[in-house]
Amino acid sequence: MATGDERERDARGAEPERELEAALAGMPAPAPRSAFRDEVRAAFVRSSSRELAAQRTGSAVDERIEERIRRAEAEAPAARSAFREALRRDFVAAPAESRTPDLGGTPEPEPVSPLRKVLVITLAAAAAILVTLFVPSDPVWSLREAPGVGPVEVAGVSFGKVRLSDSDRARIGVELARGGTVVTGERELSLDLQSTLRLNVQTGTTVEIEALPQLDTAEPIVLRLTRGEVLIETLPGYPGNPIVVQTDDALVSVTGTVLGVRVDDRGTCTCVARGAVFVDDRSGATAPARVTAGTSYLLFHGGAMPPMLVDFGSNASETHREHTDVLSAFATGGPSGT
């Protein structure tokens, strides 16, 4: 156990040490010197003494390893701070997606050879031709002319209160292809079905046109005439679908001709300008009649009078001649309006 004198002596000996520690603590820390650090590292690597190597690593180091370290140090390029700073600026300024390294994602598409392009285009064109030739398309009516004034009603929609626009004409054709009733008023409609069938709906006419069937089949094109007059002409190339015009009194069957069917207060008049048609009396009171070119067949409402077969000649009434004149003009491609 230390005596009081010993403790006092130890305390006096510790004072210089505490003063030295306080002085050292108050001194500023030296700034790191990269050049000095690099110099020490280079000296460390350049050492070829096996003893020094052993001192550095704690064991003997193979001379080959030391040689590789020295060679790598000699070949390493000197650091260029300006180049490094330029790379850093470019990296920070670039969009985030461009800084993401490509780790083998989606490969770049291979360039398509000109021959392959030509082959693909040729095959696509051939496919389009095959579809056009062998896949039937839905038939659509086209509105060729609409002389007259005022609106016309098609499938419950009024068109042309002022005039018929191009969009009106296109929509009328589409609506009629689906089927609908036409009420012409003071306007006349001239319709065309794929340049193989002409249908003229005269002024003051109400007629229902059923939805178009697939062409080149046995399904008929059906018109139901309530009042007024329709003119029909089949053209070269017509696919051959039967055409049926139905009125309250008659059933007119058409296979290829030019004819007009008119309904008024007296009954149904079927006039043929070219070819022949068959007219059935829907009441069954009379036998079917075959009507040929240049003649008209009158079937009266409710059998009020026997049916009449009348020539287009001068012995017909003035009203009947007006009707046949309109049909004759229609058959020659001229004006058909009344």
Q: What is the structure's pLDDT at 82?
A: 75
pLDDT tens digits, 64-108: 666 766 676 666 566 677 777 777 777 666 665 555 555 555 556
Distance between CA atoms of residues 173 and 4, nearest Å: 128
At residue 291's C-alpha, the angle toward residues 262 and 230, to 5°, is: 25
Q: What is the structure's pLDDT at 133?
A: 46
80's tokens: 């260029």
- Would you state the torsion angle of the CA atoms of residues 132, 155, 300, 190, taken in this order, to the nearest 10 degrees? -50
Which fold is adopted by the domain 141-331?
Jelly Rolls (2.60.120)
Domain with CATH 2.60.120.1440 in the chain: 141-331
What average pLDDT does the structure give for the chain? 79
**Residues of 287-298 as b/e, b for ≥16 C-beta within 10 angstroms?**
eebebebebbbb
The gap between the terminal CA atoms of the chain, to the nearest Å, is: 147
pLDDT tens digits, 156-206: 999 988 788 889 999 999 899 999 999 999 999 999 999 999 999 999 999
Q: What is the structure's pLDDT at 61?
A: 53
Its sign, for the CA torsion 248, 249, 254, 260, is negative
Q: Tell me the pLDDT band of 249, cut-offs 50, 70 and 90.
A: very high
Please give the model's pTM, rounded to 2 decimal places: 0.59
pLDDT tens digits, 250-303: 999 998 899 999 999 999 999 999 999 999 999 999 999 999 999 999 999 988
Angle 34-46/63-75 helices, nearest 10 degrees?
140
Specify the residue for token string 């920070």: 92
145 Cβ neighbours under 8 A, 6+ residues apart:
188, 189, 190
